[in-house]
């Protein structure tokens, strides 16, 4: 089935537009009255304690948790009306980065990326080779394609995970605690990379509880707390309350 051509922004120019949404898993309410508008090219943090709803909101955006109440528009798709067969199309317009990298440990870097391209419909080997080289170059890993994941540092594995997220030229990057397993210096390097990706025109939404990163790399910040999502200015953030 061929993907329909739909605009990645709504009539107001937002790549993400969520109104009066209730985020829940079965009968457990995680976030209520969620209202969020994000324009293309923004870098946005979601902060809050573990279990406050950051990951659940991201999962709702990429269709793992169904939206049952309210409205949700993400990269051209209506989260309330989307059919299960269209969720792969939704995800192809996104790049998703996880804390634990989720690389395939039985194949090298190149084959990890090749697997994703083939799974998302690419067929031409020359084009796939070219695209893999492009994304590895973007994350400064172009000479590590032959390496197995266990031969890479944590920071290098996360760079490969970012390269994987960029393969299908997504408009939106969702990063769920991407520096959670990395040391401070490596985290800083990853943040510089993510901000560069954003400056190239992509939207980045990053869930984190690492207040040092937000201090070093300020950005629009939302807080999940007591089932509510609220926007915070830098000077309003109580960083001491963000610790796990």
Dihedral pair phi/psi, residue 172, rounded to 5°: -135, 130
- Furthest-apart CA atoms within the chain: distance in Å: 51
Instruction: Show the low-confidence residues of the chain (pLDDT under 50).
Output: 1, 242-244
User: 208 and 46 in contact (C-beta within 8 Å)?
Assistant: yes
CATH homologous superfamily of 42-64+83-242: P-loop containing nucleotide triphosphate hydrolases (3.40.50.300)
The token pair at 201 is 């025109």
State how far the Cα of 19 lies from the Cα of 10, in Å rounded to an integer. Answer: 13
- Return the pLDDT at 244: 42
Domains of the chain, residue spans: 42-64+83-242
Scored b (16 or more CB within 10 A) or e, 141-165 reads beebbebebeebebbbbbbbbbbbb
Dihedral pair phi/psi, residue 130, rounded to 5°: -65, -45
The token pair at 202 is 């992509």
**pTM value?**
0.91
- Return the pLDDT at 26: 83
User: 194 and 161 in contact (C-beta within 8 Å)?
Assistant: no
User: 87 and 1 in contact (C-beta within 8 Å)?
Assistant: no
- Return the pLDDT at 13: 93
* Burial of 111 from C-beta contacts in 10 A (0-12 / 13-18 / 19+): middle
């Amino acid at each position: 089935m061929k993907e329909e051509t739909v605009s990645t922004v709504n009539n107001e120019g937002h790549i993400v537009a969520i109104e009066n949404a209730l985020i829940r898993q079965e009968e457990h309410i995680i976030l209520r009255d969620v209202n969020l508008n994000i324009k293309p090219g923004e870098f946005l943090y979601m902060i809050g304690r573990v279990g406050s709803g950051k990951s659940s909101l991201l999962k709702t955006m990429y269709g793992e948790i169904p939206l049952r109440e309210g409205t949700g528009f993400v990269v051209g798709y209506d989260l309330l009306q989307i059919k299960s067969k269209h969720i792969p199309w939704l995800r192809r317009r996104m790049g998703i980065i996880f804390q634990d990298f989720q690389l395939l440990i039985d194949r090298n870097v190149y084959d990890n990326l090749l697997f994703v391209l083939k799974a998302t419909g690419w067929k031409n080997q020359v084009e796939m080779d070219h695209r893999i080289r492009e994304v590895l170059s973007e994350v400064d890993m172009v000479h590590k394609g032959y390496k197995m994941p266990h031969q890479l540092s944590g920071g290098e594995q996360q760079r490969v995970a970012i390269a994987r997220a960029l393969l299908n030229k997504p408009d939106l990057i969702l990063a769920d605690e991407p520096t959670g397993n990395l040391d401070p210096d490596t985290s800083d390097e990853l943040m510089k990379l993510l901000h560069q990706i954003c400056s190239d025109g992509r939207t980045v939404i990053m869930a984190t509880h690492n207040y040092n990163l937000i201090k070093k790399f300020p950005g629009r910040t939302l807080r999940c707390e007591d089932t509510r999502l609220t926007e915070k200015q830098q000077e309003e953030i109580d960083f001491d309350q963000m610790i796990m």
